[in-house]
Structure 1
Amino acid sequence: MAVGKLLYAQSGGVTAVINTTAAAVIDTARKHGVKVYAARNGILGALREDLIDTSKESAAAIRALAWTPGGAFGSCRYKLKSIEENRAQYARLIDVLRAHDIRWFLYNGGNDSADTAHKISQVGKALGYEIACIGVPKTVDNDLAVTDCCPGFGSVAKYTALSVLEASLDVASMYESSTKVFILEVMGRHAGWIAAAAGLAGNGPDDAPHLILFPEITFDEDAFLARVKATVERVGYCVVVASEGLKNAEGRFLAEAGTRDAFGHAQLGGVAPALAALVKAKLGYKYHWALPDYLQRSARHAASKTDHDQAWAVGKAAVEYALAGENAVMPVIVRTSDAPYRWKIAPAPLAKIANHEKKLPPSFIRRDGYGITAAARRYLAPLIRGEAAPPYGADGLPKYVRLKNAAVAKKLPEYRVADR
């Protein structure tokens, strides 16, 4: 067996394929004779010395992990401060890594997680411990810099387009005497990637979604109501997809709940009912709205094969980079061709990814601000292709796995993580 162990951890909101990446990490490390520990609940588990021994899991369980949604080892929203602000926290982390002979650390997450991975890669030498740190891409929002797309997004995009397509057929059946307006709220705080993906549901000018409300476009109440009214009068009904990050002319979120998470992000949710109430009050149309929320990122039954394959590829590459001596990099997806769609994995410096946010290009938003362009369709369409459905049991439900998550014996004094 190679000297040292590898520690894997998950951060932020999970995706339909984050466990695919975890399975790839474990499978690849096993082939290289390296034992993998997982930190329970992300970086918090690493600080608390709450580690999981994945060698206790069977090969069959790891195979099943590849098609199981959620985050098998838990996740967290916790951002490390700089070493100048909290040197003791980094010292504790290094103590845990040293106590368990962990030589490689893989952190699977988004922008803030890339920042954490980058910080840890920098402080190892400063605190006298060699540790190779690799960031692994994951986010449903598709807002990671450098990478062409991000594992997790393709499946959310597919789920969103499917939901719009199916719901629109329902509305089309009922609009004569019932619902005239249907509003679907999707995730996307600052970048409208998921909202844009809804545009794949239709091709013609009268196909749903009729209106997409992007966070990049300031919400104009009068213009919105006029478009809804015109669409209902022309088509008979109107399907609207609204990003949770929609802002008014004052720059305020339409659906800000007044609370913030550990990263300082405003908690959002409630754009759809607000818009529905507006439509009812101003236009008098009967409406329905939906807020899929967690369903968007946990819908493994509707996962994209492209997304599944890319999630596996970044996990495999992350281990290979780490064992080859790479540090402070992330395996990213590089698109080499649109038609036919081709891609590869390449290393990118964490310094170019951490705390950078990839917005939806203006060229992807139609001139009127309510739909996607041909360029957006060329980019998005390959990401939702193919099916990666889990196997189903006799009960009609997917055969998902729950791991043993056997704890590693602790070697250090108990540690209390400071308030966020």
Structure 2
Amino acid sequence: MASGTLLYAQSGGVTAVINATAAAVIQTARAKKVKVLAARNGILGALREELIDTSKESPATIQALAHTPGGAFGSCRVKLKSLDEDRAKYERLLEVFKAHDVRWFLYNGGNDSADTALKVSKLAAEFDYPLTCIGVPKTIDNDLAVTDCCPGFGSAAKYTAVSVREAALDVAAMADTSTKVFVYEAMGRHAGWLAASAGLAGNGADEAPHLILFPERPYDEADFFKRVKATVERVGYCVVVASEGIRTADGRFVADAGGGKDSFGHTQLGGVASHLAGRVKDALGYKVHWTLPDYLQRSARHIASKTDLEQAQAVGKAAVEFALKGMNSVMPVIVRTSDAPYRWKIEAAPLSKVANHEKTMPAGFIRRDGYGITDKARLHLEPLIRGEAPPPYGRDGLPKYVALKNVGVRRKLGNWAG
């Protein structure tokens, strides 16, 4: 039996399959006779010494966690600054780890979380504390460096492609006397991966989505209006998918909500679909409808990709195995070994190559006119949304999701004043 405790924490926006990763972490650690604690509400729980004893959950409950969306232990959007700027917080983390004999720290998140895990490992080394830190990949934006794709993205991409295809059929049915333009807003601040996944909904210039707006390309309103008008005149209607992070040529977010920046330094965005809809209506006179799926994109476990689920479980299992081998400051990443047939494996990547790096859409994935995806992008994206992994349903017709007890462990330190 390995000596010490493993602490798992979730970070940032959750996904449809992040709990599948959590379940894999717990199941793998249990098989190795390692106790797993979880931080309540992410890194805040670790700082506040609000830790959950996962051993109080039955094997059946942990198994059911794999098909339950959300973040079972709670997450948060809190970014720790440099070791010098947030020294007291990092030292507090180390105090909590020592108090609960935490020897392995698994932080399930994105770029910033990988950076935090890396910094914690450096501080532990400075204090000569035996701690292995592992970053576990998660994000629907698919913007993590090194990994071929990111757990959470495939399911959000599947939801996006299916939703756009279904909505397009609705618009087509009513276009003669009603809606001419439909605008769908996809998440993606700097990277257009989710918007690109909408391109899987159709093939050819006359199949929806007719226009995709990527944050990697400057938004030109006049050109956009021209293309919307041409599509309506040719097809009878126009379906537009816009990434929330599209910017004008001068770098200004089209959908800057004016809410300042969050703790990660991100501008609050919101309403690009409603903005575009209003502008199209005013400029072209068409009847326009728009939608903002928002959290639905990342919580739709009922339509999860089987590929995504399997990858989410694989990185959780590998994270524990890497940790117990003492592979400090690494992240289990997905490596594609073949496109056709689609094949992949898990390898370890240094956190230094992941932390605070952002992977945007390759130029070769965006159509030359800037309004669609290429065959190369389709080849890359399509396998990620393959397969169905529906949750079990009850007699009431609703998915049977699970709620954890989340029993806290006794505190050993004083209250955190931070």
Per the normalisation by structure 1, the TM-score is 0.99
Q: 2: distance between equivalents of 1:68 and 1:262?
A: 28
Q: Which stretch shows the higher mean deviation, 333-342 or 253-262?
A: 253-262
Kindly provide the amino acid, as one letter, of the partner of residue 405 in structure 1.
N
Q: 2: distance between equivalents of 1:257 and 1:284?
A: 25
Shift of 1:91: 1.5
8 Å CA contact 1:16–1:297 kept in 2: the answer is yes
8 Å CA contact 1:154–1:306 kept in 2: the answer is yes
Q: Which stretch shows the higher mean deviation, 79-88 or 300-309?
A: 79-88
Q: 2: distance between equivalents of 1:188 and 1:394?
A: 37
3-state SS of the aligned residue for 1:215? coil
Shift of 1:265: 0.2
Q: How does 1:1-400 map to 2 (within 5 A)?
A: 1-259=1-259, 260-400=261-401
Percent of paired sites with the same residue = 74
Q: 2: distance between equivalents of 1:42 and 1:329?
A: 19
Shift of 1:92: 1.1
Shift of 1:2: 2.2
Q: 2: distance between equivalents of 1:186 and 1:231?
A: 21
Shift of 1:416: 2.4
Runs of 4+ in 1 over 3 A off after TM superposition: none
Q: Which stretch shows the higher mean deviation, 120-129 or 353-362?
A: 120-129
3-state SS of the aligned residue for 1:73? coil
3-state SS of the aligned residue for 1:343? strand
Shift of 1:261: 1.1
3-state SS of the aligned residue for 2:113? helix
Q: 1: distance between equivalents of 2:368 and 2:200?
A: 17
Per the normalisation by structure 2, the TM-score is 0.99
Q: 2: distance between equivalents of 1:257 and 1:152?
A: 26
3-state SS of the aligned residue for 1:346? strand
Shift of 1:57: 0.2
Q: 2: distance between equivalents of 1:83 and 1:134?
A: 18
Q: 2: distance between equivalents of 1:105 and 1:138?
A: 16
Shift of 1:79: 1.2
Kindly provide the amino acid, as one letter, of the partner of residue 286 in structure 1.
K
Q: 2: distance between equivalents of 1:131 and 1:401?
A: 32
Q: 2: distance between equivalents of 1:25 and 1:348?
A: 18
Kindly provide the amino acid, as one letter, of the partner of residue 140 in structure 2.
V
Q: 2: distance between equivalents of 1:2 and 1:223?
A: 62
Q: 1: distance between equivalents of 2:374 and 2:417?
A: 51
8 Å CA contact 1:91–1:127 kept in 2: the answer is no
Q: 1: distance between equivalents of 2:377 and 2:333?
A: 20
8 Å CA contact 1:141–1:191 kept in 2: the answer is yes
Q: 2: distance between equivalents of 1:208 and 1:51?
A: 47
3-state SS of the aligned residue for 2:403? coil
Q: 2: distance between equivalents of 1:229 and 1:104?
A: 57
Shift of 1:413: 0.4
Q: 2: distance between equivalents of 1:246 and 1:205?
A: 22
Q: 2: distance between equivalents of 1:3 and 1:382?
A: 40
Q: 1: distance between equivalents of 2:179 and 2:86?
A: 55
Q: Runs of 5+ in structure 1 lacking a partner?
A: none
Q: 1: distance between equivalents of 2:218 and 2:86?
A: 39
Shift of 1:87: 2.1
Work out whether 1:405 is the aligned partner of 2:394: no
3-state SS of the aligned residue for 1:8? strand
Shift of 1:402: 0.3
Q: 1: distance between equivalents of 2:174 and 2:101?
A: 63
Shift of 1:68: 0.2
Q: Which stretch shows the higher mean deviation, 276-285 or 86-95?
A: 86-95
CA deviation vs aligned residue, 1:299-356 (integer Å, no higher than 9, x gap): 0001000000000000000000000111000000000000000000000000000000
3-state SS of the aligned residue for 1:288? strand
Shift of 1:161: 0.2
Shift of 1:249: 2.1
CA deviation vs aligned residue, 1:93-119 (integer Å, no higher than 9, x gap): 111001111100000000000000110
Shift of 1:128: 3.0
Shift of 1:372: 0.2
